[in-house]
Structure 1
Amino acid sequence: MTHLVHPPGAAAAAPIGFDDFLKVDIRIGTVVAAEIYAEARKPSLKLQIDFGPGVGVRKSCAQIAVNYAPDELLGRQVAAVVNFPPRQVGKAMSEVLTLGFPDQAGEVVLVMPAGPVPNGARLF
């Protein structure tokens, strides 16, 4: 899924209730396949991420090719929203939103745990 760009230093979003936060299902998964998405308008990769038995393997199109090569992501754990509806991204279908923050150049740096956690673990 395409990421939304919010400039560093932008004001915080409007407050939400804790129940609203709980509606967003953010999980950890392991990248099991990655390839360059050559047809994308911005430098992107197509990922397959294993979120474990409860969620399974899901696809993601992520604009991360400036900072990451496909082979360096294999076996790495990443955070993603797993309960958004699938979204058509060019000719590919993206089933989860892989999460990241913009670096100084505005390119995505992925959210990854500091140590290994079980696939499918939910952010709280």
Structure 2
Amino acid sequence: MHLEHDPANPAAETIAFDDFLKVDIRVGRIVAVEDFPEARNPAFKLTIDFGPAIGHKRSSAQITTLYDREALVGRLVAAVVNFPPRQIANMMSDVLTVGFPDEDGNVVLFAPDRDVPLGARLF
């Protein structure tokens, strides 16, 4: 099944390019991963390095089905860095790590396929 042609999952409404620019998606490198048993759904606590301009930020990510803690350290990921911090269980999540659902609804992380400078912005 191809989700892009699924009538139950249509494309979002058209937005202006300036609206897209309001969402600041940056690349970072995962530097630490912790279990997060307090989360409502299985998740990891990630510490992500976005380079000197943004620094280290925390994120909760429901990626425990497809990813092991050890394999995540050092991996590049993309995250929205300009949402306000959000309380998730007993941690404050600074950024929203982004991904796509696989056919079973598990999160597949979104990342560049080559090294890019930490903190580089998606455009």
TM-score using structure 2 length = 0.93
Give CA deviations for 1:31-57 in whole Å, capped at 9, x if unaligned. Answer: 000011111121100000000011110
Q: Which structure is larger by alpha-carbon Rg, 1 or 2?
A: 2
| SS of residue matched to 1:104 | coil
Residue 123 of structure 1, CA deviation:
0.3
Question: Could you list the runs of 5+ residues in structure 1 that have no partner in the other structure?
Answer: 1-7
* Aligned equivalents of 1:68, 1:35: Cα separation in 2: 12
Residue 25 of structure 1, CA deviation:
0.3
AA in 2 matched with 1:79: A
AA in 1 matched with 2:113: A
* Counterparts of residues 34-49 of structure 1 (less than 5 Å): 34-49=33-48
Residue 104 of structure 1, CA deviation:
0.9
* Aligned equivalents of 2:88, 2:50: Cα separation in 1: 21
Any runs of at least 4 consecutive aligned residues in structure 1 with deviations exceeding 4 A, and if so which?
Answer: none
Counterpart in the other structure of 2:31: 32
Give CA deviations for 1:76-95 in whole Å, capped at 9, x if unaligned. Answer: 10000000000000111100
Percent identity at matched positions? 59
Counterpart in the other structure of 2:99: 100
AA in 2 matched with 1:26: I
- Size of the aligned set, in residue pairs, is 117
Question: Could you list the runs of 5+ residues in structure 2 that have no partner in the other structure?
Answer: none
| SS of residue matched to 1:46 | strand
* Counterparts of residues 33-112 of structure 1 (less than 5 Å): 33-112=32-111
